[in-house]
Structure 1
Amino acid sequence: MITIDPEPISVRIPAAMKMTGISRSRLFELLRAGEIDSVKLGTSRLILVESLRLFLEKLQSEQQTARSA
């Protein structure tokens, strides 16, 4: 029996925007800066979901550290 993980490992830009609430232009800024990882498949840009998760966790951690300082 094959089981499929319901959470995708990559998403296109519109889905990444919905998942995170980050605007399209800000996502592209983060991609250019290397803050979020992606791959190209033909003409499509796929954002790695784990990369989104790690970015947001890092952002949260930095903000908590700034608040406690």
Structure 2
Amino acid sequence: MFESELLTPSEVSDILKINYRKVLDMILLGDISAVKIGRQYRIEKCDLLDYLKNNKIQRMA
């Protein structure tokens, strides 16, 4: 059915080990893509993985 799992901001905060409010701020700033369903946000797992990949710090030589 769906290829990508939907995560709640709370689940994302647990995965990233950051505050729930920080996840909401990241959504509102457009740092992480999210879908708003009614009054709730959902983040596709693939969007979270893209965020992590795009914000990876490369090791300096």
% of aligned pairs identical?
A: 21
**How many residues align structurally?**
61
**1:2-30 C-alpha deviation (Å, 9 max, x unpaired):** xx78x952111111111221221221221
Distance change >3 Å, CA 30–CA 15, structure 1 → 2:
same
Q: What value does the CA root-mean-square deviation take over the aligned residues?
A: 2.2
Q: Tell me which stretches of 4 or more aligned residues in structure 1 moved more than 3 Å.
A: none
Structure with bigger gyration radius: 1
CA contact 2:4–2:46 (8 Å) conserved in 1: no
5+ residue gaps, structure 2: none
**Structure with the higher fraction of residues in helix conformation:** 1
1:46 to 38, 42, 47: 42
5+ residue gaps, structure 1: none
Residue of structure 2 in register with 1:18 after alignment: 14
- Relative contact order (C-alpha < 8 Å, sep 6+): which is higher? 2
TM-score of the pair, normalised by structure 2: 0.74
